Structure 1
Amino acid sequence: MTFQERVKALFAKETYLKSDGALDTRKLLKRTLVLMLFIFLLYYIGFQFYQRLGWDKNAVVQRFITDFGVPGVALYVYIVDLFVLPLSVDLMWPFVMDWHPLLAIVVMGTASVAGAFSAYLFGRLVGLIPLFRRWVLRQSGTHTEQLITKYGLWAIVISGLTPLPFSTICTVAGIVELKVHLVLLSITIRYARMALYYLIFAGMIVIG
C-alpha cells in the first residue's frame, strides 16, 4: 500500500467495528492521532499566518472577537454538535485562545453538551415515527446502532473524545431510547475534551 493510499484509508468513512461487533480500538486510536496531528498542523499554520498579517494586534479584529466571539463560537459549536455536518468544533480554537482558559472551556464545552443533548432529544422524537426512525438509522449506518447497543453510554464517551461521529451517535442514542441520565452523564466528557485541546493548542502557541 502506497503512502497516499494509507492516508486515504485513514480518512475513509467506514465502520470502527470488527466482524464480531467489538470496537476496533487500534484503528480508532490511529485515526484519532492522525486527525489530531492534522488539526494541530492546520492550526499552527493558520496561527503563523494570523500573526504575520498583524491581526493579533489589529484593534478592529480584537474588538470583533471580544464583542461577538462568545455567542458566535457557542452557536457554531452548538450547530456542529447538533447536526451531522462536515465541520469540526476545533475550527473555533484560533478565535478563543486569547480568552481566559476557563471561559474558552466552559463556552465550547457547554455549547457542545447542549448540541449533543439536543441531538439526543431529536433522536427521541424521530424514534416515535417508524418511517423516519428507519431512514435515520439507515443513513447513520448499522455500526452506529451496534455501538450504542453494545457499549451504551461508553459509545458516547468514546465518540466525545475521538473521530467517531459524536452528533450521529447522540441522535441514535435518542432513537434507541438510551436513558436520559446516562446521556447527560456521558456528554459531559466534552468539557474534558475541550480542556485537553485547549492545553495542547496553548502549548503550541508557546512553542511557536
Structure 2
Amino acid sequence: MDTYIIMENLIRNHGYTGLLIVAFTESIIQPVPPDIFIMGASIFGLDPLICAVVSTVGSILGGVTSYILGHNLGTPVFIRLFGERYFRMGEEFFEKYGIWGVIIAGFSPLPYKVVAWLSGVFDMNVLKFTVGTLIGRFPRFLLIAYFGHGVSIYLGI
C-alpha cells in the first residue's frame, strides 16, 4: 500500500493521534511531509491550533528519536540510509548555521529528518536541537493548519 494512502487513513480514522503518528514518523524516515495532512485535518474540521501543537509534539519526539539514532548509529548508517551527498551537504550546513540550521530545516522545505539525524551524528546539544525544532516546526505547522482552516471556511466545508 502507498505511504500516502496509509498516512491519509491514519488522519481520517484516528484524527489527532493519526496526525501525531504522521509527524513522528516523518521526522525519522518516512518520505511524506506532514504538511498536507495537517492542512487536511483542519479542512476536515479538526481544530487548527491543536493540529499544530500535536504535529509539533510528534515532530519533536520523532526528531529526538532521529537524533538518538544518528548519535548511536553514526555516520556509516546515516550514509547508507541517506547517501554521502546528504552527509557532506549536512556537514557544510551545520558548520555554517549550527542551531539555526535546525530552525531553518524545521520551518522550510529542507529535509528535516536529515538534519535531525545529523544533529545526533555531529553531537549537537540535544536541548538546543529540541528548542530549534520547536522554534522551526511550530510556526510552520500553525500556518499550514490555519491555511487549511481558511480553505474549509472559503469552501463552506
Paired positions, count: 142
Find the residue that maps to 1:87 and give its secondary structure: coil
| Deviation sequence 1:74-126 (CA, Å, 0-9, x none) | 1122111111x331102312134311233211111111111111111111112
| Matched residue SS, 2:128 | helix
Distance 1:159 1:70, change over 3 A: same
Task: Give, in angstroms, the shift of residue 172 of structure 1.
Answer: 0.6
Q: State which of 93, 111, 117 in structure 2 corresponds to 1:147.
A: 93
Rg bigger for which structure?
Answer: 1
Moved more, 136-145 or 114-123: 136-145
| Bigger relative contact order, structure 1 or 2 (CA pairs below 8 A, ≥6 apart) | 2
TM-score normalised to structure 1 length: 0.61
Aligned to 1:86: 31
Closer/same/farther in 2, CA of residues 138 and 90 from structure 1, 3 Å limit:
same
Counterpart in 1 of 2:6?
none
1-structure distance, mates of 2:36, 2:101: 24
How far is 1:142 from its partner?
1.0
User: What is the alpha-carbon distance in structure 2 between the residues aligned to residue 149 and residue 126 of structure 1?
Assistant: 21
User: Could you tell me which of 4, 9, 14 is aligned with 1:68?
Assistant: 14
The secondary structure found in structure 2 opposite 1:177 is coil
Which residue, out of 115, 121, 140, partners 1:193?
140
SS in 1 for 2:120: helix
**Residue number in structure 2 paired with 1:111:** 58
What secondary structure is seen at the aligned counterpart in 2 of 1:99?
A: coil
In structure 1, which of residues 122, 127, 132 is the aligned counterpart of residue 69 of structure 2?
122
After TM superposition, the runs of 4+ consecutive aligned structure 1 residues lying more than 3 A away are 130-137
Extract unaligned runs of 5+ from structure 2: 1-8
Q: Would you say 1:172 and 2:125 are equivalent positions?
A: no
Is the 8 Å Cα contact of residues 42 and 145 (structure 2) preserved in structure 1? Answer: no
Percent of aligned positions that are identical: 20
- Structure 1, unpaired ranges of 5+: 1-60
Q: After alignment, is 153-162 or 94-103 more displaced?
A: 94-103
C-alpha spacing 1:156/1:146, structure 2 compared with 1 (3 Å) = same
Q: TM-score, normalised on structure 2?
A: 0.79
Q: Distance in 2 between matches of 1:132 and 1:94?
A: 34
Q: Give the C-alpha shift of residue 139 in structure 1.
A: 5.5
Q: CA RMSD in A?
A: 2.3
